[in-house]
Structure 1
Amino acid sequence: MEDTELDDERAVELSTLQSIYPELIIDANDPYCAALDVLVAPSTPLPVTFEPDQDVQRLSYLPSLHIEINLPTTYPAEISPSIKLSTTPRWLPLDVSQKLVDEAKSLWEEYGGGTVLFSYVSSLQEQAETAFGLEELTLPSNIRQELVAYSKKLKRELFDKETFDCEVCLEPKKGSACYRMERCSHVFCVACLQDYYNNCIKEGDVNNVKCMSTECGKSGGSKRKKDWLLSPKELLQIPMDRETVERFAKIKRKKKIESDPTIIYCPRTWCQGAMRTDKYPKITDVTQMDDSDSEAEEDVTIEQDGANIDDGVKKRSIGRQDMERLAVCEDCNLAFCIVCLASWHGDFVRCEPRDLNQLTEEDQASLNFILKSTSPCPYCSVPCQKSYGCNHMTCAQCETHFCYLCGSWLNPDHPYQHYNDPKFKHCFQRLMDGAEGEEGVQFGGRRGAEQAAEFWEQEAMRIQLQLNEEDTV
């Protein structure tokens, strides 16, 4: 074969390859040399350990594989193409790189001395989807920042070019106007997210600051997954105002503290701050809060014949044992004893729990209101008050379903069966009792006992007054 024919065959192959891959660059000084970058986007993010910090990052994108192609004079009849592979920065192990280079010669031999560039590049693209067979990677820490930044930048650039249908407004939007949820990957337009989350946080409904997809967090059978709440860090990425995100973080922390029976409050009536605790650290910088440990996802199991619930909410206990008595208020820094609520008197001073008669007038009024106007959750004991609507309640803290009238646990799959079953005489066909107000409503359970006690107390006073009047006459 003449040199001109070989030259034409090499030129035709590179020209054909360039028509398939427009990003292929042919060297202006040497028409038989070319370069091409292959996108490395593993179908499953690749765990990368950076030493010596032992920091593990799961990267969705890695710097492209740069291919340098040189077609020798006797290619393809007598010799295979010359291939050089590299990455910047260098992350691909040398043994893997050499194996990929050797594949070009093996492929050429398999084709019996034919043109192989298209098949070779296609093979590299397919292998790039599995990170060239790598299940994990160990790299020096000095390139961690560059690789992480590259992955985030490329991920955003590719996302911005796509078009998505927002799951709320159902309108097609460019990725640049959308946001993909970090944990579940559902996509919504930024305007819908901001409107919904701003309203939730403004109204204090922080338990609904989660993915808005109706399919998110669902599982089959009688089990359901606990919804993931967004972290303050992710809310800022949507983006949302920092002031709003700080309000979200503070309300969320306040709800957790109030539902924790181990938290003691400052005895100073003008303060009433919570005790310091590592469990609920004070919020200093919302940009660093990801709540990865405090929002662990757990399954909730609910059975028909009683509640078997394990969702991370601790049941309130009576009394405390084996606890240190010293506590410090996080607001006014008062050191006090958690047993007697006096200023700290040391470990060797015997003290007694404060008597209920020592409650302040405000504390007693608050306690009386809670006992008279709320029904406790049968699982976590958080007081719940109904403003209107039916008597099927869902606890805002642990999401337990219960009856507002008698305090009984309800099956979340069939919550209204309780009101249609004659064996529950007190609640039978009373689903809407008290829908407009609680005046005149007869309760069962603890509130029923409180009502009965109040009635007989008033009745006893009435009889006593009547007897006094008769004696006077």
Structure 2
Amino acid sequence: MADPATEDEHEEELNTLQSIYPELSISSRSPYVAEIDLVVAPVKPLLVSFVEEQGSHRLSYLSPLNITITLPEGYPAEEPPRLKLTTTPRWIPDTVLKKLQAECQSLWEEYGGMPILFAYISYLQESVETAFGLLDPSNKTPLELPRDMKPELLDFNAKMKREIFDKETFDCGICLEPKKGAACYRIERCGHVFCTPCLQDFYNNAVAEGDVNSVKCLDPSCGKTGDTRADRRQKPRLLSPKELLQVPLKKDVVKRFAEMRRKKKIEADKTIVNCPRKWCQGFARSDKYPKITDVTLLEDSDSEPEPEPEPEAHAVPPNPPEPEPEPEPSKNQEHDIEKRPGGVSTDRLAICEDCNLAFCSVCLASWHGDFVYCGPRKEAELSEEDQASLNFILAHTSPCPYCSVPSQKMHGCNHMTCSQCKTHFCYLCSSWLDPGNPYEHFNNKKKKECFQRLWDLEEGDGGDAAEAQAQFWEQEALRLQMEEVRVHEGGGGNT
């Protein structure tokens, strides 16, 4: 028969423990059985890897340690409490769980038959800080777990982060108003917090206007080191399509952003050619820049900015790299092909990703096979339309001195900022300007062609840019008509 005094001690200890830990629940079937879940949040995120998968994950929260306590009749004088430690999924190795349970026996012996539940739970809470000894001090060696645990552990970590974040209060760096975390979003890379409506408004406008370089963290100090020159050279890291969907932005907006980023990268890659069909002009298929079919499947690397370092202040910016000269065609084309692996090379074969036209990337004709020699198109072989576009660009734009992107001024002064690489330059002579003092160039008497000419062409290139453009194309159309007449007359004279 149970001793009533002992039963009272058991009930009193559990009730006292419940007042300290409200999450402790006492079984309705037995007043001497209790259960508590300890949240596992190590002081440093636990590095975890999964079997047969590359890479690792840093988990700030892991599934809780469930402790089931049963107080036997002889507790605390004659025997220790009976414990059952489990986790779902079982991410803690069995050897560690056995060691934690053995500590209960050691505490009971150390306390000499006194109540030890509070001391034991306190011990487990302290062990949580090092993930029960699983946290590597250098945080470089990951804890390897079975692959099937991955979804549950990652979901639990994300859920706990979100619950804690939602309860906090933050000052939005855009509207400067305090907002609850439930109405905010934390940038993954840097941790800066802004309210969701402000981010949505800004990013939607940036994507609609084609300003993809502004889809980044909106904190002015983000990524700054304090070194002016180094900060000026450093390009901001843009948000990934995956993160934009989490803000959240609409799927079609994120897709437009991803496509503009992809188009920008392809246009900067001189190895990618366009479809020769005038009505298509799509890009050739490329494994490096796969066509976007589902924006939700894009990896974060798709949004990494190209390395476009800005020139240092008070220094001459580097010239764009000289294009490599085209190799001279071999006199014995068949001999060259025979030396290639397999006898045939498809280096010149390009297939349009839009209309599926197979064409030669060298001569831009329909695919003629590897055994037909062709050379690159020469400048004299440009189409009339291409030549007219080139003439307009040369006559009514100024190239950026760093990335060579042509810019046309519609109005304002001659201090220009490249929309592509943000380089400051002079519209009159395309000279690089010091971002710290760009107007010094126009006050320098040595620059005779630009001295005191900051406001020349204030109304745009040619006074009225639209009118100048219309006049240019009118002259080009007249020139083309005259050439057709000459060709026709020449052909008639030979008949």
TM-score in same-fold range (> 0.5): yes
What is the correspondence of 1:213-252 to structure 2 with a 5 Å cutoff?
213-221=219-227, 222-224=229-231, 225-252=234-261
The whole-number CA distance in structure 1 between the counterparts of 2:88 and 2:451 is: 72
Q: Which of the residues 260, 267, 286 maps onto 2:276?
A: 267
The alpha carbon displacement at 1:395 in A equals 3.1
Kept in 2, the 8 Å contact 1:65–1:86? The answer is: yes
Match of 1:211 in 2: 217
CA deviation profile, 1:18-60 (whole Å, cap 9, x unmatched): 2222111123343333211111223443332222344633333
Match of 1:363 in 2: 386
Kept in 1, the 8 Å contact 2:240–2:302? The answer is: no
What is the correspondence of 1:15-414 to structure 2 with a 5 Å cutoff?
15-54=15-54, 56-73=56-73, 75-76=75-76, 80-108=80-108, 114-134=114-134, 135=136, 136-221=142-227, 222-224=229-231, 225-292=234-301, 295=304, 300=309, 302-304=311-313, 306=315, 315=321, 317-320=323-326, 324-412=347-435
CA deviation profile, 1:60-85 (whole Å, cap 9, x unmatched): 32111112233445555565544332
- In structure 2, give the amino acid aligned to 1:347: D
- In structure 2, give the amino acid aligned to 1:28: S
CA deviation profile, 1:104-149 (whole Å, cap 9, x unmatched): 3444555566544334333433432442332422122222222222
Note the residue ranges of structure 2 that are not aligned, 5 or more in a row.
137-141, 329-345, 465-495
Compute the TM-score of the two structures, normalised by the length of structure 2.
0.77
363 and 296 in structure 1: CA distance in 2 versus 1, 3 angstrom threshold: closer
What's the % identity of the aligned pairs?
A: 60
The whole-number CA distance in structure 1 between the counterparts of 2:430 and 2:349 is: 36
298 and 368 in structure 1: CA distance in 2 versus 1, 3 angstrom threshold: closer
The whole-number CA distance in structure 2 between the counterparts of 1:104 and 1:41 is: 22
The alpha carbon displacement at 1:284 in A equals 0.5
What is the correspondence of 1:378-457 to structure 2 with a 5 Å cutoff?
378-412=401-435, 415=438, 418-419=441-442, 424=447, 426-427=449-450, 430-439=453-462
The alpha carbon displacement at 1:431 in A equals 4.8
Kept in 1, the 8 Å contact 2:410–2:460? The answer is: yes
87 and 390 in structure 1: CA distance in 2 versus 1, 3 angstrom threshold: farther
Kept in 2, the 8 Å contact 1:223–1:302? The answer is: no
Kept in 1, the 8 Å contact 2:50–2:150? The answer is: yes
Which stretch of the first structure deviates more once superposed, 194-203 or 387-396?
A: 387-396
The whole-number CA distance in structure 1 between the counterparts of 2:266 and 2:154 is: 36
Kept in 1, the 8 Å contact 2:46–2:131? The answer is: yes
CA deviation profile, 1:285-326 (whole Å, cap 9, x unmatched): 0011133255168694753453678xxx98462545599322
The whole-number CA distance in structure 1 between the counterparts of 2:207 and 2:3 is: 75
The whole-number CA distance in structure 2 between the counterparts of 1:392 and 1:100 is: 70
Kept in 1, the 8 Å contact 2:63–2:156? The answer is: yes
Compute the TM-score of the two structures, normalised by the length of structure 1.
0.81
71 and 279 in structure 1: CA distance in 2 versus 1, 3 angstrom threshold: same
SS in 2 for 1:131: coil
Note the residue ranges of structure 1 that are not aligned, 5 or more in a row.
442-473
- In structure 2, give the amino acid aligned to 1:266: C
The whole-number CA distance in structure 1 between the counterparts of 2:177 and 2:94 is: 48
Kept in 1, the 8 Å contact 2:245–2:254? The answer is: yes
81 and 358 in structure 1: CA distance in 2 versus 1, 3 angstrom threshold: same
SS in 2 for 1:287: helix
CA deviation profile, 1:191-241 (whole Å, cap 9, x unmatched): 111111111111111111112122222222121232121222222222222
The alpha carbon displacement at 1:177 in A equals 2.1
- In structure 1, give the amino acid aligned to 2:225: S
The whole-number CA distance in structure 2 between the counterparts of 1:81 and 1:391 is: 83
SS in 2 for 1:157: helix
The whole-number CA distance in structure 1 between the counterparts of 2:322 and 2:207 is: 27
Which stretch of the first structure deviates more once superposed, 78-87 or 93-102?
A: 78-87
The whole-number CA distance in structure 1 between the counterparts of 2:126 and 2:428 is: 63
Give the length in aligned residue pairs.
437
169 and 75 in structure 1: CA distance in 2 versus 1, 3 angstrom threshold: same
The whole-number CA distance in structure 1 between the counterparts of 2:198 and 2:62 is: 32
Match of 1:444 in 2: none
The alpha carbon displacement at 1:7 in A equals 4.8
The whole-number CA distance in structure 1 between the counterparts of 2:31 and 2:4 is: 13
Match of 1:451 in 2: none
